[in-house]
Amino acid sequence: MLGIIFLPWTTIMYVLVAPGGINGFDWIWLALMLIGDLASYGGGIGRKQIPGYEGY
């Protein structure tokens, strides 16, 4: 449940690759999704530094 809230893309990929067990190339998919989740958090922080941006 916490995975869906904090790391949604990683959790979805884990659900897709885990039923057969996680082997070699599956770790690469999980790592890519983890990087994507972390990048989405980092991208949100950077938007607040844009002059005139009034988002929350």
Q: Do the Cβ atoms of 41 and 34 come closer than 8 Å?
A: no
Residues in the chain, total: 56
Distance CA 14, CA 25 (A): 12
Q: Indicate the pTM of the whole model.
A: 0.73
Q: Quick one: pLDDT at residue 1?
A: 83
DSSP secondary structure code for residue 19 in this structure: G
Coil, strand or helix at 27: helix
1-56 residue pLDDT tens: 898 899 999 999 999 999 989 999 999 999 999 999 998 887 766 666 667 666 65
Distance CA 9, CA 26 (A): 14
